[in-house]
Amino acid sequence: MNIEKEIEIIKDRNKKVENDKAWETSWTRRISVASMTYVIALFWLIIINESIPFLKACVPTGGYLLSTLSLSFVKKRWENKNNKK
């Protein structure tokens, strides 16, 4: 295999990795997962005949959204600690 072909393969792979990373950190993904979490929690709360299910379904949804925000801070601290080695 020639060098130019190998470089193209590496560039294509890097582009895919960058797109995957962008998706993982995107607000589109976060809102989609939060929406699914809300709908599933709401469905469950209605099935078990819980009071004020529309409000209570916000708890796991809010928890998920908060975890996506705080994890980036934790990740940066972890990276800084591990890059010093």
Question: pTM of this prediction?
Answer: 0.72
pLDDT in tens, 66-82: 888 877 788 888 888 88
Q: Give me the helices (H) in the chain, please.
A: 3-24, 27-47, 53-56, 58-83
pLDDT in tens, 45-71: 999 999 999 999 999 999 999 888 877
- For residue 41, give the nearest of 14, 59, 17 by alpha carbon: 59
- For residue 30, give the nearest of 57, 73, 70 by alpha carbon: 70
Q: Work out the pLDDT band at 85, boundaries 50, 70, 90.
A: low
